[in-house]
Every structure is written in structure tokens, then in C-alpha cells.
A = this chain, B = another copy of it.
Amino acid sequence: MANRSMFTKQAKVLRVLAHESRLMIVDRLSRGECSVGDLRDIIGGDLSTISKHLALLRAHGIVEDRRERTTVYYRLLTPCVSNFFTCATQVLKERSR
């Protein structure tokens, strides 16, 4: 179970989530689906940048998109990614002691 390719896969998942903007996206989507524009309003920066973060999350099976008229809505496919927030917070707390 604890073989090398296992660690490689886990590292990839972590890598995808290890970014401020992508964490914000996941956090927002954990409270329900929303459009790319909505996410840009929260995160700021160029719309194309947000779109690329979403493409990365989608490529890793973490989010899914749905088009309605001209708007694209994204939603979380793996709600368990929210557990990473708990884990990360725990590490931050534990090391501050």
C-alpha cells in the first residue's frame, strides 16, 4: 500500500490543492456550485487565470462543470477535499505550540 507510485499520486493531489486561489475555489464550491465570474469576484485577478485553476482542478477530477446558456457553473466532485482544511489547520495549530 505504501509504495512509491502511491506517494506520487498523493503528492499530485496535494500539489493541485496547494495554492491559495485553488483553496479558495474549493472552499467556495464546498458551499455550492457557482460560475467562473462569481469566483473571480471572490479571488480577483484575471478571469483567464481563474479559468486555468479550474481546468487544473477539473483535470484532476476534483471539480466538474456544467454550461447553462453562456454561463459555466462549477461544482465540487470530491467533497472530501474539505478535510484538507481541517488537516492543514491542525498542522498550523500543532506547530505553533
Contacts and interface: CB of A to CB of B under 8 A. Distances in A.
Interface of A: 2, 4, 7-15, 17-20, 22-24, 27, 60-62, 77-81, 83-92, 94-96
A79 B19 CA distance: 23
User: How many copies of the polypeptide does the oligomer hold?
Assistant: 2
18 contacts: A2-B27, A7-B27, A8-B20, A9-B88, A10-B89, A11-B17, A11-B19, A11-B22, A14-B88, A15-B19, A61-B96, A78-B91, A78-B95, A80-B87, A80-B90, A80-B91, A84-B84, A87-B87
B10 A14 contact: no
Given A7-B20, A15-B15, A61-B96, 15 more contacts: A4-B24, A10-B23, A10-B88, A11-B17, A11-B20, A11-B22, A11-B23, A13-B91, A14-B14, A14-B23, A15-B18, A17-B18, A62-B91, A77-B94, A81-B87
